[in-house]
Structures are given as structure tokens and as C-alpha cells.
Structure 1
Amino acid sequence: MNLSLYQKLAVSLVVIFCFICALVYSWSKQLELTSKHHGEQNLHLALAEHLVQDNPLIKEGVYDYAALENLFHTLMLLGPAFEFYFVDENGKILTYSAEPGKVKRTHINLAPLKKLINNPDAAPIYGDNPRNKAQQKIFSVAPVFNNDKLQGYLYVIIGGEAYDTSLNTIKNNDKLWLAALWLGSALVFLLIAMLILLRFFTNPIQRLARDVSKIEAANYSITDTKLSNYSTQKSNEVHSLGRSIQAMVTRIDEQFKELEQSDKQRKELLTHLSHDLRTPLASLQGFLEVLNQSGAQLSAKEQREYLHVSLNNCDQLKQLIEQIFELAHLENGEISIHKETFNLGELIYDCIAKFSLTAEKKGLNLTVEPAICDFPVVADIAKLERVLSNLIDNAIRHTPKGGSIAVHVKRIDQKQLFVQVSDTGVGIKHDELNAIFNPHYQASNSHNEGRQQGGLGLAICKGLLKLMDSEINVQSELGKGTMFSFNLPQKIKV
């Protein structure tokens, strides 16, 4: 049988409650009875002794048992709660106040009698009930002597059979039953109140368990799963746990979506790269086949042209493969940074010199501002050279003839420099600015000038700058140009 947490707690609470009630009731009744017997025995402790001293039949030690029985009967009529017995020194019952046939014992144990005589403070002490072989009662006792010779004991039972009968009749009274009924009702009400409180306290746990089951059934996706609302105003452990679980599941769901998106982008990248690799390979293969099959029929000029195109295709393949490996190493964290202090201006002019011939052929103006860039920086010189080269090459490809490209260096404070590479090219659409750093993404208005581009340059720039604790940003206006900027820590001169 599968029980919920509340049901298990409720059953356990009912069992424990009933057990405690029974234990408390039994203990209270026993304590009440013991206290009652203690008080009654102390109250009537000297009763037997006074009877011995005040009655000549007993005091003189010469006994007429018939007269003694009549005396006991008279005393019992005066005190119905008492039963009178005279026993000899061996515990044999010689006479008594009861009706014939009522007494079931012929002897009683004298040890309790002697104990009470010697130590009256030990009350309550229980002695044998002559009317019931399995029962004991509180009593009063006094020894009876004749010329200093022990003749026996006057044994008085306190609360005899008549007293018990009267007490049971009182206990059966309707008022007592009504009081007991009210007490029982109060206990039942207390139990119900405790169960309601228990339900109230365990309800958030049940809601949390249902939420976890929903999440599991939805394969840990919370997109279409409606979960309970755990208030941030409540600071109990269950609400804190519920909020933590929901935050954890939300984060897991986001990571799943990121992995799915990353896997989708990776597949798209592989598709694009396969296309990019296939195009120069097909061109290279076609020209080489022409050279191989018709080499003797081609003129020297045609052969040189075919070889030149084939070499260009080989160069594009090499660059594309290098970019693929570089991006893979970046994503896997396999590229290390070796920071050093160097002059930023010298590196910028080296990069400008590398592209000056290409820019001159296209009629572009390459400038550095300020012209004297004496700024010491702390970075990886090789990785920074790669970033600047990619950005300048990108600007040259997207700037039409007669345009200009400038590298600006700005000091923001004593610790930071900003490097900006701007052009007057075709620009980038505003809705494409956030996507241009994705691998293989190319703006819709990009100019490749007959060269096959993998679209990995900006993704590599972003990854390299991130390794150097820098971040690249872009601003662009369609038809007017684009500006890429990033920050570098400056070496403070002392």
C-alpha cells in the first residue's frame, strides 16, 4: 500500500497520540489511586488500635467469638466502608464481620501487617482481601495481647466490598459519563486540529513533489510546464527549496536550449564549411585537370594563368583550414595567452605596412591616429596582431575604391586604452550587428571580391580578445561605414 507523506505522518500521529493518551490515563489513574489509598490509610492508621483499646472484649484478651462477631457487625453498620477481621498470630481468620460465604480466605499473609505496625510511614501498604483471593486492599491493623502474650491481630479493611459497590454505582452516574464524553470530545478535537496543522505544514512538500513529477514527465523541460508559485516573502525551508529547485531546473532548461542551439549552429557551420571547402577544391581540381590533359595545347601564358588561379585556390584552402583549426582551439580552450609589455604604435604600423600595397592598389587611404602612438600595453603581441590584421583586412574588403580606413587609439583613463578600426565602407544592417560574430556569418551586403571567405575572422577576433580579458564592440551605419573597438590594459609608466 503506497501512502503519501501526509498519510504516513497522520497515521503515525494518531497511533502515538492514542498511545500517549492511554499511557497518561493509566498513569493518572494509578497516581490517583495510590494517592487516595495513601491518604485513606494514613487517616485510618490508628483505627484498629483505638478499637482494641476501647472494646473490653478485645482488650482483655478473653474472647467470646460470637460476641466479637456481633461487635464487628455493629461496627460495620456504623462504618459500611470498613470490614473487620480477627486473625491469630499465624494469620488464621478467627472471626469477621461479613455474611457467611462472603469470606474466601482462611488465612492471610501477616508480612504486610507487621510492616505497617513497624513502619507506618511506608503507606500505602496493601494486605490480602479475605473476600477475594486475587485482590489486595489498604488496611488498618493493631496487635491484641493478653498479659503481654500476643493473641492475634485486629485487621480492618479500608474501603471494603460495600464501599467498592457504592463507588462503582457513582462511577456509572450519567454526569460522570457526560464529563468523560466532554473530555473525549476535547481530545478528539485536539487530534483533528493537529491533523489539520500537519496537513497545512506538509502541503508545500506535496506541491513540491508534484512539481518535480511534472518536470520529470516533461523530460526536464519547463517550457510548457506550469509549476507552483513559491513566494519570496516566505522564508521557510520548503519554499526556499522550491525556489531553488525551480531556479535549478530553469538553468538546466536554458543549458539544454543553449546546447541545442549550439548543436544546430555547429551543424550549419559544418554545412557552410563543406561548401566553402568544396568550391576552391572543385576549382583547383578543374584547372589541374585542364593542365594535365591539355598541357601541350595551352600557351605558356594560359598555363601561368591556370597555375596562378590554382595557387590562389590553394592559398584560400590553407587560410580557411587554419581558421577552422584556430576557431576549434579557441572553443576548446586550447590556446594559451603569453602577455608581455610592448609598444602598441609599433604593432599598428607593422600591420598597416602589411596591407599598404593592397590598399594602394584599391585606392584606399590607410591612417593611424594619433600619428605618434607611443602607448605601452600589456597583451599577447601575436594574438593582438592577428586581431588587428583581421579587422584591417575585413575593412579593406568592404570599403569601395577611394574610401579610407583609420586605426584610432584613445586613452580613457590611466589604465585603459581603446583601439578603434573604422572604415567608410558599405556598413552593416542594424539587425545583423549581433550576428556578425557568429562563426561563418556574413553580412548580406558583404563584398568578397571574388575570394571565398569562411566568415570566421570576426568570431576568431572575439575569441582572442576574450582570452586577453577584452571585449569587441561594433557600430555601423548602412552605406557610411563600420567601426570595431576593443579595450586594452595600458602599462603605467613610472
Structure 2
Amino acid sequence: MIRRLTLSQRLTLVFTAILLLCAAAACGVQLYSSSQYGNAMVQRLSAGLAQQIVRSEPLLDGGGQVNRQTLKTLFDRLMTLNPSVELYLISPEGQLLADAAPPGHLKRQRVDIAPLQTFLAGSVWPVYGDDPRSLDKQKVFSVAPIRLDGELRGYLYIILQGEELNALADAAWQKALWSALLWTLLLVALFGLLAGMLVWFWVTRPVKQLTADVSGLEQDSISAIKQLALQPPEPQPGNEVAVLRNTFIELARKIACQWDQLADSDRQRREFIANISHDLRTPLTSLLGYLETLSMKAETLSPEDNRQYLAIALRQGHKVRHLSQQLFELARLEHGGIKPQLERFAIGELIQDVAQKFDLTIETRQLHLQVDMPHSLPLINADVSMIERVVTNLLDNAVRHTPQGGTIRLRVWQENTQLQVEVADSGPGVEAAMREQLFQRPSALSQKASREARGGLGLLIVRRMLELHGGGIRLMDAASGACFRFFVPL
């Protein structure tokens, strides 16, 4: 039942229960305090009543004996003058010797002497003693010792709140109790209403507003998340609800940003597939065309034409194979299929070995390769084959795009805890439109000439390999040509 209640209903129920408990406790404490105060005042005002009666009235005869009939008449007369008291004569041991109680009203014939001695010792009032007309009740009293020739013969024991007074007090208390209960309920209702309004304003209303903001996530999640992300957060949240609202807004902004990134990644993937399909279709169409020509006109073609067509078909086949290998390698890199096998080695020796691969091409095209590398470089912890692939790809690009007689610069240096490598050429450089998409998947929207100018997926593979090592690559600004700089941690 309670689980089905709303937050407002639960808070209202809790506050009402707390107010009722507080009101009941306050009423109980007030009634107890009032009773204690009244009893103390009655006992204080009538503390000397028993002593005065002992002094003024003969309670024992000349022989020190108790005349019950005489004492009953005396007690009746005194109780008529003060109907709120009840008089008893008790022995030093607490045994009742005389009383004026109607027949059948006495419930016990003995009272405890200890409270009487406490009263006579001057203890703090109220002091309660046994009520002879009840089996378990105790009441305030007045007591005085009765002595004859200095010897204790008994006590005059006066109950200050007798049966008649108790009956009148009970009726008055019932009326007062119902009045207090009524006023308590009114105050509980008033303060409960006030507390409910404050709770609604400070707690329930912000929670309901936050619930309304996030309630649309199930029906139309992304639009609701973006709407929530557009809301301004509290500049200085002062309570948990405001902090929770700011947390939801921040979470919605992160989800919206990730959603946009996923949407952009999906768009790039579709464009990448379209572009790769085009790049594969072009050499495949050429390959099939030349093969069909050779198949249909093999007898009519000259040997020179046969060799030319076969060379073109073979070249297009190599293109398809190379692009397919790059696609396969990129897919394995991006999906964790390839893990770097780390080992410590000298990158200077690796760069010298890679540069020697291009000696013939550089000499044929009359290029100038300048290597700037200090003699003492620290060893790096990386995958040798991957770093070799990175350097090879960058040098190959530089060689292919540097005009005859141009210059290629390769520089290596240590910067803090990183090893920096820079490959620059004196070629035409990278077009401004291509700079932002250089390390991204090729887009079907980019110009064909630009795509062909920069080649396949080499830079994507290079970037991914460096990322697996905790490094990175970027295109630097240069006065002429292209300048690529990558780093790997030591």
C-alpha cells in the first residue's frame, strides 16, 4: 500500500505521523507535569494538617488505647469539614487502627511506612504513599506521629486527595483531555498544512519538475534528452534536488554529445562505404573490361596489344588487392584484432633502415633526403613493425608528392617524455579543404581528384597504429609542402 503512494503523499503521511506523535508526547508530558505540580502544591499547602489535628484532638485515651468508635466520629466530623481528605490512624508498623471509610471501601489493612518516614524527613515533594482504598494506587498525604510519654504509639495518616475529590478531578480531567485533544488536532492540522505547503514548495515541486523533465525519455528518448540538455543548470545548487537536476542536465549533455558523435560516425561510415565501393568499382570495372576484351578479341589483337592489356589488367588487380589489404588491416586495427608487441629498440637505426629502402627511388627522381637526428636517442618501448610501417608510409607519401629535384626532411628529437619524428617535403602541400579530413575515413562527398591525390587509407592506418602506442600524428603548418609530425611515448 505504501509503495503505491507518491512522494508528496509519503511526505505528508510522515509529517502528519510525526506531528501526531509530537502532540501526543507533548500532551502526555504536560498532563504528567501538571499532575506532579498539582500534587506537590496540595501536599505543600496541607503538609501541617496532620500535625495540627494531633495537637488539637485527642486521638488516644488516657491509657494510650484506641477507641475506634470515638475516632470514627471524629474522623467523620473532620472529613465533613474537608471532604477532600481521608483520615486513618495506623500503628508504628503500618497497620490500620481506625478509619472513617464506608463499609467495603477499604482494600488493604496495611500501608508502607517508608514513604511516611521520607515525608517526615523533609524530602522533596511530592511524596506518594499507599491509598488504603485501592490495591495499587498511591497518593499525596500528610502524616504526623502520635507519641505518649515520648513513646511512638502510631501515626495520623491523611490522604489529601480522597475518593470524592478523585471523582470530581476525573470528570474535570476528561473534559480537559477532550479539549486538549481537540486543540491538538486543530494545531496538527494547521501545522501539517503549513509543513505540507513548505515541503511542496521546497521539495515536491522541484522533484515533480525534474520528473516531468525526464519523463519523456521512454517515449522519445533522444529528443527529450536534447531538450533536457538545453536547460540551464543551477549556478549555485543549494540542495540535493538542485544537485540532482544539474547532474541530470550534465548527463543529458554528455549523452546528446555522444549521440551526435555516433550519428556523425555513422554518417562517415556510410560515406566511407560509398567511397570505398567507388574506389573498388573503378579498378574492377577496368580490370573486367580489359579481361573481356582479351577474351573476345584474343585472336585479332597483336602481341603488343595483348601485353598492354594484360599489364593494365594486372595493375588494376594490384590496386584492388592493395586497397582490400588496407581495408582488412584498418578493420583489424579499429576492432582490436591487432595488438602491438612491445619491445625496446633504437628508433634511429629503424629510420636509417627505412630510408635505405627509398635510395633507388630518391636517386632516380633526383630528390634530396636530409636526416636530422642526434647521435644519442633513448630507446623506445613499441612494436617495431608498426613503427616501421608508420615511417615507411610517411616517407612514401613524401617521395610520391615531391617533384623532381625536391627536398625531403626527416627530423627526430626528444621532447620531455616523448620522441618526436617529423617528415616534411617540398611538394604542393595539402589543400585547405582536405586538412580537417586528412586523418578521417574518406568521404563520398570529397572531390575525386583530391581523394586520388592523397591515396588510400595509409594515414588512417598510421594514426590508428600510433594511437595503440599512446601516441598521435598531426599535420603541421609549413611555408611549402606538407609536414607531418608524430610522437610516441618513451
TM-score over 0.5 for the pair: yes
User: Does residue 438 of structure 1 match 2:437?
Assistant: no
Q: Sort the Cα spacing of 1:352 and 1:417 in 2 relative to 1 into closer, same or farther, 3 A.
A: same
CA–CA distance in structure 2, aligned partners of residues 151 and 469 of structure 1: 107
2:234 partner SS: coil
Give the C-alpha shift of residue 367 in structure 1.
1.8
The aligned runs of 1:106-185 (5 Å cut-off) are: 106-112=105-111, 120=119, 123-129=127-133, 137-140=139-142, 156-160=158-162, 163=165
**Contact 1:218–1:225 under 8 Å retained in 2:** no
CA–CA distance in structure 2, aligned partners of residues 37 and 59 of structure 1: 34
CA–CA distance in structure 2, aligned partners of residues 417 and 115 of structure 1: 100
One-letter amino acid of the structure 1 residue matched with residue 111 of structure 2: P
One-letter amino acid of the structure 2 residue matched with residue 111 of structure 1: R
Other-structure match for 1:318? 321
Give the C-alpha shift of residue 219 in structure 1.
1.6
CA–CA distance in structure 2, aligned partners of residues 481 and 64 of structure 1: 136
Q: Sort the Cα spacing of 1:463 and 1:86 in 2 relative to 1 into closer, same or farther, 3 A.
A: closer
1:223 partner SS: helix
**Contact 2:423–2:485 under 8 Å retained in 1:** yes
One-letter amino acid of the structure 2 residue matched with residue 250 of structure 1: R
**Contact 2:228–2:252 under 8 Å retained in 1:** no
1:112 partner SS: coil
Percent of aligned pairs with the same amino acid: 27
User: Does residue 224 of structure 1 match 2:227?
Assistant: yes
One-letter amino acid of the structure 1 residue matched with residue 345 of structure 2: E
The aligned runs of 1:395-414 (5 Å cut-off) are: 395=398, 404-409=406-411, 411=413
One-letter amino acid of the structure 2 residue matched with residue 213 of structure 1: S
1:486 partner SS: strand
The aligned runs of 1:232-247 (5 Å cut-off) are: 232-234=235-237, 236-247=239-250
Q: Sort the Cα spacing of 1:227 and 1:184 in 2 relative to 1 into closer, same or farther, 3 A.
A: farther
User: Does residue 461 of structure 1 match 2:465?
Assistant: no
Residues 49-101 of structure 1: CA distance to partner in whole angstroms, max 9, x if unpaired?
Answer: 65355323655557595x766644553465454244689999698746xxxxx
One-letter amino acid of the structure 2 residue matched with residue 472 of structure 1: I
**Contact 1:291–1:303 under 8 Å retained in 2:** yes
User: Does residue 346 of structure 1 match 2:357?
Assistant: no
Q: Sort the Cα spacing of 1:3 and 1:64 in 2 relative to 1 into closer, same or farther, 3 A.
A: closer
Of 281, 285, 309, 1:282 maps to 285
Segment of structure 1 superposing worse, 333-342 or 9-18 = 333-342
Other-structure match for 2:362? 356
User: Does residue 424 of structure 1 match 2:427?
Assistant: yes
Q: CA RMSD in A?
A: 4.8
Give the C-alpha shift of residue 243 in structure 1.
3.3
One-letter amino acid of the structure 1 residue matched with residue 161 of structure 2: G
Q: Sort the Cα spacing of 1:457 and 1:35 in 2 relative to 1 into closer, same or farther, 3 A.
A: same
Q: Sort the Cα spacing of 1:397 and 1:404 in 2 relative to 1 into closer, same or farther, 3 A.
A: same
**Contact 1:141–1:156 under 8 Å retained in 2:** yes
Residues 105-142 of structure 1: CA distance to partner in whole angstroms, max 9, x if unpaired?
Answer: 45342233666557657930241449xx9987544567
**Contact 1:108–1:128 under 8 Å retained in 2:** yes
Q: Sort the Cα spacing of 1:235 and 1:375 in 2 relative to 1 into closer, same or farther, 3 A.
A: farther
Other-structure match for 1:21? 23
One-letter amino acid of the structure 2 residue matched with residue 353 of structure 1: D
Count residues in correspondence. Answer: 469
CA–CA distance in structure 2, aligned partners of residues 71 and 448 of structure 1: 130
**Contact 1:87–1:95 under 8 Å retained in 2:** no
Give the C-alpha shift of residue 335 in structure 1.
3.8
One-letter amino acid of the structure 2 residue matched with residue 271 of structure 1: A
Q: Sort the Cα spacing of 1:63 and 1:461 in 2 relative to 1 into closer, same or farther, 3 A.
A: closer
2:221 partner SS: coil
Q: Sort the Cα spacing of 1:271 and 1:62 in 2 relative to 1 into closer, same or farther, 3 A.
A: closer
One-letter amino acid of the structure 2 residue matched with residue 231 of structure 1: E
Segment of structure 1 superposing worse, 31-40 or 430-439 = 31-40
CA–CA distance in structure 2, aligned partners of residues 7 and 173 of structure 1: 34
Q: Sort the Cα spacing of 1:413 and 1:49 in 2 relative to 1 into closer, same or farther, 3 A.
A: closer
Structure 1: gaps spanning 5 or more residues:
97-102
1:159 partner SS: coil
The aligned runs of 1:379-394 (5 Å cut-off) are: 380-394=383-397
One-letter amino acid of the structure 2 residue matched with residue 298 of structure 1: L
Segment of structure 1 superposing worse, 287-296 or 316-325 = 287-296
Segment of structure 1 superposing worse, 77-86 or 435-444 = 77-86
Residues 240-284 of structure 1: CA distance to partner in whole angstroms, max 9, x if unpaired?
Answer: 444334333332333333233223322322232233223322322
Give the C-alpha shift of residue 18 in structure 1.
1.0
Give the C-alpha shift of residue 458 in structure 1.
1.9
CA–CA distance in structure 1, aligned partners of residues 357 and 480 of structure 2: 21
Give the C-alpha shift of residue 434 in structure 1.
0.7
**Contact 2:228–2:249 under 8 Å retained in 1:** no
CA–CA distance in structure 2, aligned partners of residues 32 and 8 of structure 1: 36
Q: Sort the Cα spacing of 1:192 and 1:354 in 2 relative to 1 into closer, same or farther, 3 A.
A: farther
One-letter amino acid of the structure 2 residue matched with residue 248 of structure 1: L
